[in-house]
Amino acid sequence: MAESKSNVLIIGATGYIGPYLVRASVKLGHPTFILVRSPTPSDPAKAHLIKSFQDSGITVLKGDVDDRESLLAALRQVDVVISSVSGGALASQVKILEAAKETGTIKRFIPSEFGNDVDKLEIDFKILEGVFQTKRDVRREIEKSGIPYTFVIPGGYAGYFVANLANDNVSAPPRDKVTIWGDGTTKAILNTEEDIATYAIKSVDDPRAANKYLHIRPKENILSQGEVVALWEKKIGHTLEKTLVSKEELKKIIEETPFPANALHAIRYSIFIKGDQTSFQLNDKDVKATELYPDVHYTTVSAYLDQFV
C-alpha cells in the first residue's frame, strides 16, 4: 500500500522559486495548495501562471498572510507549509508560524530560505543586513515554536549565476568577453531551480530532515566562477576575453551602485570572493540532500550549460 503524501501549502507561489516548488510538489504526488491574494490578479503573467496551476489540479485558496482568518482557513486544509515569500515579506512569516501554532496540525514548516546559510556567514554590507538578519530572526522563532522545520540551503541559483556566467545584462552565457569577480578561484554552490525545488519537496515527509538544515551541494556543482567559464569555453570551442574585478574594486562598485543592483553585487562578493557558501564545515544539525535522496537525478552545471550551446 502506497504511503499517503502530505497536503502541501505553498505561500509565495508566484514569486521566483515558488512556481518550481509548486510543480515539484505536484510531480512528487502531493495534494498541492497555494495561497494568493486574488485568483485573477491584474498582472497578466501572474494570472496566466495561476490559471496553469489550476489546470494542473492545484487548489487555489484566496487569502493573505495579513488576514488571519483566511490564513487559518488555509492552514487547516494542509499538513505542510512552504514559504517562498520575497525579501520584503520575510518578517511576515512569523504570522504564518503563529497561525500554524493555533491550528496545531502543521507537521512541517519550510520557511523562505533558498540561498546562503545566514547562520554561518558574516554580513559585510548594509544592503544585505535587513534581509539576512530577518532570516536569522525567523529561524529563531521557528526553533522556539515546537513546529518541526526544515531550512533548505541550496547556495546559488543556476538561473542567476550560470546562465549568464554571473555577468550583468545578458540572458545567455557570453561568447566574447566575461567579467570575473575576484580571481575566479573561490568555490560556489550552483544548483538549478528545478533541483532545489525537488529536494525541498522530498524533505517534507522525511523525518531525517526534521529540524535540520538541508544543504544541496552535489559535488559536480561546487565550482568556482573560473571553472564555470572554462566549462563554457570548452563547449563553444574558444577562449573568452576576461576582465578581473578585484575585491577592492567590487567593494567600490557596491558602495556606488544604487539599489537593487548593489544587492546583487553584494551577493556576488559573498559568493565569489568571500566563499560564504563553502567556507564552513557542516555539523550535526546539517544534512546533505544528495545523501538523503540519491534517487534524485540532479542537473550538473555542465549539463545545464548544454542548453545554450
264: pLDDT strictly greater than 60: yes
What was the pLDDT predicted at 176? 97
Q: Which three cell numbers stand for residue 165?
A: 556566467
Q: How far apart are the first and last CA of the chain?
A: 45
- The pTM assigned to this predicted structure is 0.96
Name the catalytic one among 101, 135, 234, 247: 135
Q: What's the mean per-residue pLDDT of the chain? A: 96
pLDDT, tens digit, for every residue of 150-209?
Answer: 999 999 999 999 999 999 999 999 999 999 999 999 999 999 999 999 999 999 999 999
DSSP class of residue 5 equals: P
Whether 3 contacts 105, CB under 8 Å: no
- Write down the pLDDT at residue 2: 54
Burial (CB count within 10 angstroms: exposed 0-12, middle 13-18, buried 19+), residue 130: middle
Q: Is 40 or 231 the better-scoring residue by pLDDT? A: 231
Q: Determine the Cα–Cα distance for residues 41 and 37; give it in Å rounded to an integer.
A: 8
Cα–Cα dist 25/58, whole Å: 10
Q: Give the separation between CA 266 and CA 255, rounded to whole angstroms.
A: 9
Across the range 20-32, mean pLDDT stands at 98
Q: Strand, coil or helix: what is 32?
A: strand
Q: What is the pLDDT of residue 82?
A: 98
In angstroms, how far is CA 52 from the centroid of its own chain? 22
pLDDT digits (tens, 9 = 90+) for 266-304: 999 999 999 999 999 999 999 999 999 999 999 999 999
How many helices (H) and strands (E) the chain has is answered by 12, 13
Q: How confident is the model at residue 3 (pLDDT cuts 50, 70, 90)?
A: confident
Q: pLDDT tens-digit profile of 84-132?
A: 999 889 999 999 999 999 999 999 999 999 999 999 999 999 999 999 9
Whether 135 sits among the annotated catalytic residues: the reply is: yes
Mean pLDDT over 16-31 rounds to 98
